[in-house]
Amino acid sequence: MSFGPSLPSDEELIKKLRESALTRRRAEEEIFSRYRYFIKEGQNQYSLSEEECFEAYADSILEMIKNVDTDVFARRSSIKTYLYRIFNNKCVDLIRKKTTNKSSVHRTSVITDMLFMMEDSAKTIVQRLIEETDHDLLKNKLAEIGDNCKKVLALFAEGYSDKEIATMADYKSADVVKTTRMRCMDRLRKLYNTRVE
C-alpha cells in the first residue's frame, strides 16, 4: 500500500549528486530535508542551540557531499548512518571548542588539501604567502568579476570537469571553458592586485 510518491533511494541520490548542477542541487536539498531532524536530536543530546546544530548539520551535509565527490564515502553504510556519524563528530567538536577553546570545528579547506600535496620547503613558502593574503578583499573582488566568471569558477570548484561545464553552461568545448576559467582567474588576480598596490 502506498501513501504517496516513494522517496529516492540512497543509490538514486548518489547518482543524482554526480549529475548536472540542477539535479545535484535537488539531491542535496532532498538529503538535507530528509535528515533535518538530526538538528533536533543534536539539541536534545548535546544541549547545543538550534543555530549551532543547524551549522553542524549543514556542514555535515556539505562534508558528506564532498566525500561522495571524492569517493571517500565508500558506501559501506547508508547515507543516514554516514551522515549521522559526521554530524555527531561535529557536535562533539563544537562542545570541545566551547569547553576548552583548544580546537576548532573542522571546516573543509581547499588550502589544507592543496598544501598537503606540496613538498615541505615549497609548502612553507606558499603557506607564508597565503597567510599574507587578504582573504576578505579577495572575497569582495570575486563579486566584481561578473556572473559568467563566477559561475564557471564555482562549477569547477565543485568538482565538475571542463567537459561537464561545457555541457551544463552551453560552452562550445572543454577548451573554451578552460580558457574562460584562466581568463577569469587572471581578471580576479588583476582586480586583487590593483587594490593591494
Partner 1 sequence: MSNLEYIEAYFSQSLSAGDKQEFEKRVAEDVAFAEDVAFYITANDVIYNQVLEEKKQRFRQIYRQDTSMSRSSARVLWRYAIAASVIAIAIIASLLTITKMDLPERLADDYISRNWETLSVTMNANANQTSGDSLQRAISVFNNGKPHEAIVMLEEMYRKDSLNYSVKEYCGIVSVQLKQYDKALGYFSSLANDTSLEVNPGRLYTAVVLLKRNQHGDKAAAKKILTAIVEGDFQGKEEALKWLKELE
Binding region for partner 1 (CB under 8 A): 25, 28-29, 32-33, 36, 39, 54, 58-59, 61-62, 72, 74, 76-77, 81-82, 84-86, 88-90, 92-93, 96, 99-100, 102-106, 108-112, 114-119, 121-122, 125-126, 129-130, 132-133, 135, 138-139, 142, 153-154, 157-158, 182, 185-186, 188-189, 192
Output the smallest distance, CB 13 to partner 1, in A.
Answer: 16
Nearer to partner 1, 115 or 169 (CB): 115
Q: How far apart are CA 130 and CA 145, in angstroms?
A: 21
74 vs 66: CA distance, rounded Å: 12
Residue 190 CB, shortest distance to partner 1, in Å, is 11
Q: How far is the CB of 75 from partner 1 (least distance, A)?
A: 11
Q: Which three cell numbers stand for residue 122?
A: 615549497
One-letter amino acid identity for 3? Answer: F
Q: Phi first, then psi: give them for residue 183, nearest 5 degrees.
A: -65, -40
C-alpha cell at 101: 577553546
Distance between CA atoms of residues 144 and 137, nearest Å: 11
Nearer residue to partner 1 within complex by CB, 92 or 176: 92
Cα distance from N-terminal residue to C-terminal residue, the chain: 69
- The nearest distance, CB 11 to partner 1, in angstroms, is 20
